[in-house]
Amino acid sequence: MLFRIHHVGIVVPSLEQAYRFWRDGLGLSIEKIAIIEDQGVKAALLNAGNSEIELLEPLGPDTPVGRFLARFGGGLHHLCFETDDVARELERARSMGLPLIDTSPRHGLAGLICFLHPKASCGVLVEYAQTLR
């Protein structure tokens, strides 16, 4: 079951530059910052009430987020839904024949995560996240 939009992922060239708008301009507080090597990003989660904004800075130009930045100049990257069981939701998507990026859950900034391919959702990259407490 999907509960809510957990976060919206936004690619930025620099977290420090992005903070000027998201943190300083809008007043969103930074909840968590981490380098996620296997995804090639430095990421920050900012509290936006009952949801979050995830800012993604590529660690290099040859990472998926680095290629996204080069191609589009940054901007909206993905939409993430919260679930209490990411493995179950991934299996449900697989059983429906939806195109997947991940074949099993993995760890990310938001907890246990997986991605559906944008072909499944009219061009939107969709993530599922299970917050680990």
User: pLDDT tens-digit profile of 19-57?
Assistant: 999 999 999 999 999 999 989 999 999 999 999 999 999
CA dist., res. 15 & res. 13, Å (int):
7
At residue 109 the predicted structure's pLDDT band, cuts being 50, 70 and 90, is confident
CB 44 within 8 A of CB 54: yes
Query: How many other β-carbons are positioned within 10 Å of the β-carbon of residue 22?
Result: 20
Query: How many other β-carbons are positioned within 10 Å of the β-carbon of residue 27?
Result: 9
Is 0.85 topped by the overall pTM?
yes
Question: Which CATH superfamily is 2-130 part of?
Answer: 2,3-Dihydroxybiphenyl 1,2-Dioxygenase, domain 1 (3.10.180.10)
| Domains of the chain by residue range | 2-130
CB 53 within 8 A of CB 5: no
